[in-house]
Amino acid sequence: MNNPPIRQRDLRGPRPTRPGRRLAHTRTHHAALAARLTPRDRWLLRMLHEHRVLTSTQIRQLAFPSTRSANQRLLELYRWRLLDRFQPFLTRGSAPMHYVLDVAGAAVLAAEHGLDIKDLAYRREQAIGIAHSLRLAHTVGVNAWFTTLVAHARHHAHAQLTTWWSETRCARLFGDLVRPDGYGRWASHGHLVEFFLEYDLGTEPTTVVAGKLSGYAALAAATDIATPVLIWIPSTRRETAVRRALDTTWRRLDNPETVPVATAAADLCSDADPAADVWLPLGNDSRRRRLADLSTAWQHLDDPPTTGSSAADPGVSTQGPGHLSVPDPMPPELKDGR
C-alpha cells in the first residue's frame, strides 16, 4: 500500500517558538533582538507606546509597501514578544488583527532611553486590556484618521504629517481644560495648519459636542494661542445637526475668533481622506476646503512655527518622568526594504 504523501508544509523548517513571559525578560533574548530589529521596527514600538493600538491595516498604510510584507514582519515581531495582538469579534465579516506593545518591546524601549521598564508605566495586562475597552472603536478610529494622512503623504511628495500626538499625551498636557482626541500638524503645498481633532462617532448629543468649545476657548485664553479645532463627523446628516449646535455655542463665546472650528463628514469622499476638500469652516464661509487650505480661511491666525509646540506654552515639555518624546509620524526610510 502506498503511504499518504507528505504535505509540502511539513517539509519546512521548524518555526521559532514564541518566548514565554520569563524568557522575554532574559538578557539572552534581548541580546538576540539586537541583531534582528530594524529602525522601522523600533519606530513601530514607539508608535504603539504612544498610540496604544494599531491594526495590521493601519501599520501597512504607515510603513510597509504591501500587505504581505507587513503581515510577515508583524508575525515575526509577535513571535519575539515585541508585539502582542488580538482580533475583536464582529457580527459581520472579520476584523483585522490589532497590535499592542508586548513585554519585550517595552523592555527594548526602556533600554534605548536608559529607563527601567517600570518607568514607562507599562503593564502588559493594561496594554492588552484595550481589547475589552468600550473606547476601542473610538481609539482605532482616531488612529485610522491620522494613519490615512500618513498614507496620503507617502504618495504625495508635497505633503507631510509633521506631528501626531495621542489622546493620552493631550490629556496629560491639557486635561484640566480640554481632552482632544489628538493634536497634529499638516503641511502641504507650502501651507501648514495645526489642529486639535475631535473624532465624533455620532453617539453623543450634539449639545455635548458643541459644549467642548468652551474648554478650547479657556485654553486659548490661558496660552494666548488660537489653535483650530477640527471635528470629524460620520455623515453629512449628522454634520448638519452638529454645526447647528456648534454655531449657537461658538457665537456665544467671549472671543469666537480664538477658537477656529471646521467640520467634515466622512461620507463626502469614498476613501474618507481628511486631506481632501471636505472641510467647512464655522461661520460665514460656505466653501469646503482641503485640510492644508484651512489656514487661508483663518488669516487672522499666526503661522505655527515649524518646530516646537505652539499649542502648548513653549515652556511646557511634552515629556515627563517615564514619558518618551513624540515619535515622528512618518516611518524611517530603509534601503533594504525590510
308 pLDDT exceeds 50? no
If phi over 0 gives left and psi between -120 and 50 gives alpha, with beta otherwise, what is residue 308? Answer: left
180-206 average pLDDT score? 95
Q: Residue 220, class by beta-carbon neighbours within 10 Å (0-12 exposed, 13-18 middle, 19+ buried)? A: buried
Which sign does the torsion angle of CA 213, 239, 147, 24 carry? positive
Q: Which residues contact 12 (CB under 8 A, 6 or more apart)?
A: none
Mean of all residue pLDDT scores within the chain:
88
| β-bridge pairing 229-233 and 261-265 | parallel
Q: How confident is the model at residue 317 (pLDDT cuts 50, 70, 90)?
A: very low
Q: Each residue of 255-276: pLDDT tens digit?
A: 999 999 999 999 998 888 999 9
| pLDDT score, position 3 | 56
Please state, in angstroms and rounded to a whole number, the distance separating the CA atoms of residues 317 and 167: 16
63-81: average pLDDT? 96
Banded model confidence at residue 322, pLDDT cuts 50, 70, 90: low
- pLDDT at residue 16 in the model: 62
Q: How far apart are CA 283 and CA 176, in angstroms?
A: 28
Nearest of 97, 95, 84, 197 to residue 142 by alpha carbon: 197
For 125-162, how does the pLDDT look when each residue is reduced to its tens digit (9 = 90+)?
Answer: 999 999 999 999 999 999 999 999 999 999 888 999 99
The three cell numbers of residue 174 are 491639557
What is the rounded average pLDDT of the residues 86-109? Answer: 94
pTM, to two decimals: 0.89
